[in-house]
Chains A and B, each alone.
Chain A
């Protein structure tokens, strides 16, 4: 009964967090990319003195301003939730999570109250170069602000630079640089911000295409599309590069997530990457059904992406549950622990923690030292003590698989779109291709879908872990009433829906007005 109630709180708290994060992420990525594009436009204005670029930059600044104003502070609700719904987690992570969030909050505050204000209010009051500097600093500041929250998220996926203190029950940061420069955090940061660049490029192209369809502001639209498509091409190149880096890190640090992303149940050497596939519904890890109804596979690519070696072994879901052995590139035998072995070690750490506290209470230093040794040796698997069934370490495979493939397929489509648009711009034929202009408009929701799908891969794919291997979701959640979480879920849903409608309403009105004084 207790377990069922807890499951309900866990599920509702997860839904609530997902809802808040998804809504927050509707607003953030555009900010990351569009600021750089309007900084580029303003730079052209400062270099050439051509008023056209000033007016163009001002129009896109308005789009940025609307998006920023509606989205600002929506992320704060996530921090409210940490203290209420995820109090065990918040306490357990200690200052590791708090420090980056505090830096982000302070940085965001100073950035928003200075550079953005200068950017909006400073036209004709400051020198061109000072204003341009503020615009560039807004772009850089928005991206650096995102760094800190992504570092915190990266730490949850790969907890580095910390030590567990059994006296305080908190993880303590012992190396700030290991936390900041963890390969997972760095790849996550660059992959996330570059996804924002591609999203912003698609949005600018889509809105500009609408002007071309309406046969107004044609010069403005064409030049905006040119800037966006070039920015989008470079953004996509960086996105693919960092995506490869992220996939490699997932393979090394979160192999279960990678297996779910690919629907890979049985590990193999020379593993292929599923380019397109349909999973067998109802497939369980311990049945003999074929995982795929249909698939198109690129031979050996998954092995290469995972280990930088086309012949290497990639473990599947069943291997990660049951344990596995393989021969590495140097011919050495390697083994991966099974769920049961990790659970046993987690239970040793858990019991040692209980023993440590009891020994401390009765002043038994020797038993305390023995328990501490066991904790140190097995803490790596501490979270497994809270899991009973092998299936509990497997994330939602269909959701992770399809989200990953939607993200990748759409990413490839965006690259193709940028290339085609640039080619037609070069040939001066874009304005005649109305179907393509409409396609550009309807690609706007697709880029948001791809962006959200990326986060679903990252967050659903790492389940059941809140902190990889150390804390499962079930242990992180507060023991609160599920009804209260349902109430706030509905409240947030209403609030965010109103905000989204408000943004779209104001945005559409401003877009319809168009840029002032340009063709």
Chain B
């Protein structure tokens, strides 16, 4: 048996024989789905990348923001 197959078998039988682990994996997958398929695209865009195309535009925007911030 080659190494890749051995590694695959190791993980496959490991996951197959899980008991409580299966519930945990279900929780992990649901959690990752909510994070990456719902929260990230719908609520958490990278603001600068979304609004600006070039590094210069981003730099100019941050320059404006930092030099004109309302005083606290």
User: Which among B10, B63, B72 is the interface contact of A474 at CB below 8 angstroms?
Assistant: B72
Residues in A neighbouring B44, C-beta threshold 8 A: 80-81, 83-84, 488
A-B interface pairs (CB < 8 A), number? 123
**B19 to chain A: closest CB distance in Å?**
10
A353 touches B39 (CB 8 A): no
Name which residue of chain A comes closest to B63, CB basis: A169
**B65 to chain A: closest CB distance in Å?**
5
B71 interfacial by beta-carbon distance below 8 Å = yes
B63 touches A91 (CB 8 A): no
Q: What count of chain A residues pass the 8 Å CB interface test? A: 58
Given A84-B47, A87-B48, A354-B67, residue A117 in contact with residue B20 (CB < 8 A)? no
Name which residue of chain A comes closest to B12, CB basis: A121
B69 touches A65 (CB 8 A): no
In the bound complex, CA of A479 to CA of B69 (Å): 10
Q: What count of chain B residues pass the 8 Å CB interface test? A: 38
A424 interfacial by beta-carbon distance below 8 Å = no
Name which residue of chain B comes closest to A484, CB basis: B43
The B contact surface, by secondary structure, is: helix
Name which residue of chain A comes closest to B23, CB basis: A506
**B9 to chain A: closest CB distance in Å?**
10
B66 interfacial by beta-carbon distance below 8 Å = yes
Given A169-B59, A491-B43, A506-B24, residue A76 in contact with residue B35 (CB < 8 A)? yes
In the bound complex, CA of A481 to CA of B26 (Å): 34
The proximity string for B residues 22-62 relative to A, scoring 1 for CB distances below 8 Å and 0 otherwise, is: 01110110011011000110011111110000010011001
Listed stretches A177-185, A232-240, A386-394, A428-436; interface member:
A386-394
In the bound complex, CA of A117 to CA of B58 (Å): 42
**B66 to chain A: closest CB distance in Å?**
6
In the bound complex, CA of A194 to CA of B53 (Å): 44
6 closest cross-chain pairs (CB), A and B:
A121-B14, A69-B24, A388-B71, A83-B46, A80-B44, A87-B47
